[in-house]
Structure 1
Amino acid sequence: MSRTSNRTDGDIIRDFLSVAGLLEEPQLAQLYTYLVHGHEATVQDVIDDLELGQGTAYSNVNRLVDAGLVEVTHDEQPRRYAAHKIDLTVTTSAADREYTITPALIDAVGRAETNDDIGTYVDRHGVAGLATALTYTVARERGEVTHRLMADDLDISPLAAEMILQALRPVVHEYYDIEEAGASLDELDDDDGDARTFDNADGDDR
């Protein structure tokens, strides 16, 4: 589900509203991520692998189908489902910041169901704050920033920065190509230089 020039405004708005539902409900985000990785699955697969009740599993799958985020790939029983990949860029009215909603961000939201550190961060900073943290985690894993620089940029404690960076690390390594950095993280941690600010690092999300 990528935004292209030949798509109507109505299509884009429907995409945005559908994705917004995912970002508001970690359980739906978790299911969407499961279907993206599994390529195709039955509702029974969802029940077994995500440990959902039968009613919840059917309801959530149907909601994703109705939203246009999941499609039926095999109509005979048992039906099989697959997810459409999402790549949607949203520009906010505050300082014209852009957030790109990708499977990586949706995966991170879904992990709030099982990861207390991510859940707490979303509660305090919202999904926009989580998107910012994900950007910093990519940079951290590439050796470009440290938790102290992130903490200074976002006006949060170094401990809070380190906790969310660690929590998002598996997401980053699953979706991004991470190469060896030129400097070690220890060397970067000792650097007293100015903090690096990213375009979508919004201190107002705290």
Structure 2
Amino acid sequence: MTPRPAAETPPQDFETGINQLATIGRLLDHPELARVYVYVCYYGPVTRPQIKNALNIPKTTVYDHVETLERHEVITLASGRPVDITAEPVRITTDGIMVTPTILHAIALQEVDEDISYFVERHGVGKLAAAIRQAGLHYADQITQRMAADPLEIPTGEAIRIILALKPALAVGQEYDPHFSDIFPEIAGDIEFDADIDVTAPLPDSES
């Protein structure tokens, strides 16, 4: 029997990688689903009522999204009442593009931020991912907001608005995304904000 080349990917790893790519694609295409995943990832273990109250989405929608995320194996449900839900932080790279919870958080913010929704509608999620990198450079004091416009090939006003809109995703990601420094390998420790941002999600006192 011919031995398998050392560089060949085992079938199980290949299957896992493809499944992860498919899951990431679904999250990139569904901001509300990504929002639930990121919330669980950052603040878990949480319960369904906590997700409902914190994100202000209907109970039936929460159940549907949790079921979808569990089916795609990116969240885990513990036995017991209430059910505790946790999620592992994803990190996947394809063609040099890295996706981590920080990127997914930015995608999710379309649901609650008009500037990000407008930006994605005009330029797509790929450009939004590029804008995250420029926002990091800005908050690391490497570039001005205006200087972000040329690399993104967008008007200066749009660059300024998207850099400001992405501040929460960067602030929370810096605190909770274990892969944050992989997105900004040279500058992660230099990223700072000129005002305090509360990165702690409010968890409700009641499970009702």
How would you bin the TM-score normalised by the shorter chain?
A: 0.7 to 0.9
Q: Partner of 1:81 in structure 2? A: 85
1:114 aligns with 2:112: yes
- Helix, strand or coil for the counterpart of 1:144? coil
Query: How is 1:86-101 mapped onto 2 (pairs within 5 angstroms)?
Result: 86-91=90-95, 98-101=96-99
Q: Partner of 1:153 in structure 2? A: 151
Q: Please state how far the C-alpha of 1:172 moved relative to its aligned partner.
A: 1.6
Out of 123, 126, 139, the residue aligned to residue 125 of structure 1 is 123
Structure 1, unaligned runs of 5 or more: 92-97, 182-206
Structure 2, unaligned runs of 5 or more: 1-8, 175-187, 193-208
- Helix, strand or coil for the counterpart of 1:17? helix
Out of 4, 15, 20, the residue aligned to residue 15 of structure 1 is 20
Answer yes or no: is the 8 Å Cα contact 1:141–1:178 preserved in 2: no
Q: Please state how far the C-alpha of 1:46 moved relative to its aligned partner.
A: 1.4
1:28 aligns with 2:33: yes
Out of 127, 139, 150, the residue aligned to residue 141 of structure 1 is 139
Q: Partner of 1:95 in structure 2? A: none
- The amino acid across from 2:82 in the alignment is P
Answer yes or no: is the 8 Å Cα contact 2:33–2:65 preserved in 1: yes
Q: Please state how far the C-alpha of 1:171 moved relative to its aligned partner.
A: 1.7
Q: Report how many residues are paired.
A: 170
* 1:131-160 per-position Cα deviation (integer Å, ceiling 9, x unaligned): 100000001111112233221222211000
**TM-score, normalised with respect to structure 1:** 0.77
Q: Partner of 2:164 in structure 1? A: 166
* 1:14-67 per-position Cα deviation (integer Å, ceiling 9, x unaligned): 001011111111101110111012121111111222122121110000000001
- Helix, strand or coil for the counterpart of 2:73? coil
Q: Tell me the distance in 2 between the aligned counterparts of 1:57 and 1:170.
A: 23
Question: Which range moved further: 17-26 or 143-152?
Answer: 143-152
Deviating beyond 6 angstroms after TM superposition, the runs of 4 or more aligned structure 1 residues are none
**Identity over aligned residues, as a percent?**
25
* 1:168-205 per-position Cα deviation (integer Å, ceiling 9, x unaligned): 12222222345379xxxxxxxxxxxxxxxxxxxxxxxx
Q: Tell me the distance in 2 between the aligned counterparts of 1:50 and 1:173.
A: 18
**TM-score, normalised with respect to structure 2:** 0.76
Q: Please state how far the C-alpha of 1:89 moved relative to its aligned partner.
A: 0.5
